[in-house]
Chain A
Amino acid sequence: MSTVIEKILQKKGTIQDNLAIINVDKIMSHDTTTPLAIDAFNTFTNKTIQKDKIIIVFDHIVPPSFPEASYNQRQMKDFCKKYGLTFFEGEGICHTLMIERGYVQPGDVIAGGDSHTLVYGVASAIGLGMGSTDIAACWKTGKTWLEIPETIHIIMKGQLPPGVYPKDLALRYVQELSLSGARGKVIEFSGSLLESMRIYERMPIGLMATECSAVTEVFWNQTAGLIPDTNAVYLDEIEINANNLEPLVALPHSPDNVKTVSEIEGIEVNQVFIGSCTNGTLHDLEIAATMLNNRKINKYTRTLISPATVQIYQEALARGYIDIFLQSGAMVCMPPGCGPCIGRHLGVLGAGDKCVSTSNRNYQGRMGSPQSEVYLASPATAVATALDGKIADPRRYI
């Protein structure tokens, strides 16, 4: 009578009362959470380390845009060299890279020093986002602890109408659950619509569970035996039918402040960003390239397109997408990283700026000035907006 998350925890750990001590398969951290983890690790009296489980990804400030970041990254490399750890620099955004390189397998448990680590649920693994001390403890013990959470079940059915994409599904359920709707809970996703979706297409859906304050999320997977027992207990069940879904936008300053594009069409924007771990895959670039082919973006709308990994960039190059982007007047941002999404570098917003972004968060000041505004949308809505210079319905361009 177990849910999918309970099944994975039972297999990977020991449970007493409501406490699970779990063996983690991989431990991921990036260039802004690793330095504190190193400090914490160095205070262990016995510095045994689970070397083969550790992956460190430099993606948040790559290449460094200020001196302290460069200093930190050198310290991190010294640490990786000392203990023989796997690290990637400028090869991709951590979550996309972890999936692309096969570090995430169904039924795995992955600890990650990043609040969006739960996205590994799209590959039917458990991703646990945590702070640096937890990461240091994982490095040492290869384990972590978890109080068994309650689970919400979201079922997605129907077919996505033209111009409507997985990001719209994500915004739809975030609107339904609200920012605290899954606080302390797990979300399990299932349904005919999701079963037919590739892992990369699922990314915005899994990833935005963070914005509902979920502990983690996981997609059911029949092939891997990751389906619940018939009498498994779910706290709540939400069904979303895609058939009547429209393109959606999350307005400032909250991912659950969701309206249909048709309700807010016409708002002028001066930046469009297509990328991030949420919508920076080849699937997303394909949507953008199809729409931008033989078209010019609005001259007054700065448009940034950032493939999420180097492999995605290379494939986009081979397929001619990058050429289409450059012909259309967009800027292609390399190396891949988190810069624009977190307002760190490459397209930082100023006071009064308005940006349509395919990323995951639009909290006040997320992409720069506290006086700027971020509107979250699908790559298709972002492209339509770049073409018109104002928030636009993608269905006119497909």
Chain B
Amino acid sequence: MPRAWIFGNDVSTDNIIPGRFNISSNPSDLLPHVFQYFRPEFATEVTEGDIIIGGSNFGCGSSREHAAIVLKACGITLIAESYGWIFKRNCINTGLLPIESANKLVINDGNQVEIDMAKAVINDITEHKTYKLSLPPHFIFEIYREGGLINYLNTNGNYPF
């Protein structure tokens, strides 16, 4: 069962991966440094399928794509109340879906959680609660489904209109 990793407001791209590790964009070079200073246990304890739940303005800061690349490489699902604008685009472009929660999620760190995409909800299994999610619009979902913007343009040749 996926575990919830709870983060607060204004988690920056430098919190996600410190700028000095951004010399390589190879996911395997970046992975050991994910949240290195901000949440040191994360890199070793995160399991594929876990869910990161951020507060508002998650991924604020620089335009560097490494933050999105490294989170995608962790195999996590990403939910936040809101995102930094450039980071949100970078997530979409690298094939990581930036899901937004309709309201503030009151889920404790380490709780067992599962996402039901068909119903657009996240279930807190530990505390038997359900929260509504707001999924991105169709166009963004299409880019995600192709695995990112490059694949989307390789498949479709150009934007829809």
Chain A residues within CB distance 8 Å of chain B = 14, 16-19, 21, 32-33, 36, 39-40, 43-46, 68, 113-115, 129-134, 136-137, 140-141, 143, 145, 147, 179-180, 183-184, 213, 215, 363
Contacts and interface: CB of A to CB of B under 8 A. Distances in A.
Contacts of B84: 183, 213
Contacts, number: 95
Counting chain B CB atoms within 10 Å of each CB, which of A132, A133, A147 scores highest? A133
B82 A134 contact: no
Given A137-B150, A179-B10, A143 B85 contact: no
B3 interface: no
Given A33-B64, A40-B150, A184 B90 contact: no
Contact of B63 (A114, A136, A137): A114
B148 A21 contact: no
B86 A131 contact: yes
Given A33-B63, A180-B57, A131 B93 contact: yes
28 contacts: A39-B25, A40-B150, A43-B150, A44-B153, A68-B23, A114-B63, A129-B63, A130-B90, A131-B68, A131-B86, A131-B90, A132-B65, A133-B93, A134-B93, A134-B149, A137-B93, A143-B158, A179-B10, A179-B57, A179-B60, A180-B9, A180-B57, A180-B60, A184-B85, A213-B84, A213-B85, A215-B85, A363-B61
Contacts of A40: 150
Q: How large is the interface on B (under 10, 10 to 19, 20 to 34, 35 or more residues)?
A: 35 or more
A116 to B, nearest CB: 9
Nearest to B25: A36
Interface string B141-161: 000000011100110011111
A141 B159 contact: yes
Given A137-B150, A183-B84, A115 B62 contact: yes
A155 B88 CA distance: 29
Interface string B84-128: 111001100110000000000000000000000000000000000
A318 B157 CA distance: 52
